[in-house]
Structure 1
Amino acid sequence: MVKLAPLQPEHVAHFYTWLRDPEVIEYSLSAFQRMKTTEQIDQWFAATLQQASNLNLGIYLEETNALIGYAGLSGISVTNQSGEYFIFIGEKASWGKGVGTAVTKQIVDIAFTSHQLNRIMLTVSESNTGGLKAYTKAGFVVEGRLRQAACRQGVFHDKIVMSVLKAEWQPQGAQGY
């Protein structure tokens, strides 16, 4: 269905369209809500590719090799053997087709095998039912709630904190990157 591979500088062009679509960025990084210009997106993308404590991988459709988003881990701590999972699917045609679950399972496999992490956490907007479903299918469990932690379109909503521990994880057979 999908494969993961490093993002390349030329992939920034995909983000120009994605980050300007309010529906695509609704549940994404707060920073995405403010990015309006090509220059802002270029600066964010260049910084993203250089972050040593992050794992940033492009999500590609296996059949066409088309980039449809990116996912990975931010804030990887060697000391704490932990990181924070993120996913961004920019191509709406790929929504609701199991891509989020497949990618989440692959990243968790990579985190626990290649990066020797013990814990992966994430936060998800309470109203992002697709995300909640994908994360649960990938083995994440709810740890708590951050009340009114996000504001989108003038409305506050809760963020759900979820995590998966290596001891709870069932290997899926990661597809390398």
Structure 2
Amino acid sequence: MNLGHLRTSAFITGLLAAAISMSACQQQQEPEQSLEDNIAEEQAVPMSAEPADPNDTVVAIEDATVNEVQDDTIATVNTGVSQLTYLCSPELKVEATYTDEDDQVVIGTDMGTVTLTKSNDGSNPEVYNVATAIDGGEGFTQWRVAHGARETGVMRMAGADESNVNTYECKKTE
């Protein structure tokens, strides 16, 4: 084989490779989609590069003094709120949120949630009552909690038939 023949072969091979790669890059017409394909696909929504609402940022150069902002700032601390979890027998989990300032407790169970109001002046036991069943229906719910740390509690509740009272003895979890 001579050098001229080799150059010609390389040149033809290069042209053939270029032609194949160009034909592969050409855009071919896609088959037309059916109406069902269009419904099944999520339609693309063009988005604007502009923000929906322009944001105007204002930068304060000088810091305000304490006297200028003291009336604007109010801090509230819930010092009389505590949350405790109890496990009861028969099996029941009770989440109790006490609000001492309002003399209330919110009792939450898998049967429902109810807000009870303290009905006595004592602290051992504290007695909370509401004339509603735990599921919000007709009946009553009563929560008695003992000890200063509210370590144990007894929940009594009944539905529409108030002669059928369910009682649960509860202990605070750690």
TM-score class, shorter-chain normalisation, is under 0.3
Relative contact order, higher structure (CA 8 A, sep 6+): 1
Report the TM-score, using the length of structure 2 for normalisation.
0.25
Report the TM-score, using the length of structure 1 for normalisation.
0.25
Higher helix share: 1
Structure of larger gyration radius? 2
